[in-house]
Amino acid sequence: MKFFVDTADVKEIRDLAATGLVDGVTTNPSLIAKSGRRFLDVVAEIASIVPGPVSAEVAATDHPTMLAEGRKLAKIAPNIAVKVPLTVDGLKTCKVLSDGGTMVNVTLCFSAAQALLAAKAGASFISPFVGRLDDISAPGMELIADICQIYRQYPHFKTEVLVASIRHPLHVVDAAKLGAHVSTLPPNVLRQLFAHPLTDKGLAAFLADWASTGQSILEEPIEDRRALAQAR
């Protein structure tokens, strides 16, 4: 499974990208608005940090303007994935852009039928929002299961299932079990994947045992074993 970071915080992206675990970034106008910076500047900087897909969302709702915005966004960097909403105009835009070789992320998916339409329109990614479904007492992971099952029936579909609106690590694990291609995670959830109390407990015990020896790996010389063998 690929991990994308769902943020427009450049400092967070740099820090997490340094782990080597970040395969891409998803943004939206709301996330970029929080930065207080120019939209295009933020997108360009993020695209320079992460070599994988960086989703940049159009702001228009009609097809002609969405298409113009999408083409402008795609010119920022070769790893830009233009994000469009799952509407009739959004899918029209997706079809034109994808036919022209631009990656497209179709967002705000809440049904398997919508996901089927996005795949037929040539989307590179479909973004079903599991957390928002859970919020209204609808099982978000059932949607992921349905989409993955449908896509598997049609190998010519190249659309990747990008699980969005992730709220906690179990969403990630469940999505991976179902075969989703990508999870896009808020930075705090990605960091939660590292954490386990038994890891912390075990590390504390190892460090205590090591401290009791009074040794330092960096300060100890490396013995020349060949010289020692000859001396014996």
Instruction: Give CA–CA dist 68/74, Å, rounded.
Output: 10
Pairing of strands 24-26, 103-109: unpaired
Torsion over CA: 91, 72, 165, 150 (sign) = positive
Instruction: Please identify every residue annotated as catalytic.
Output: 83
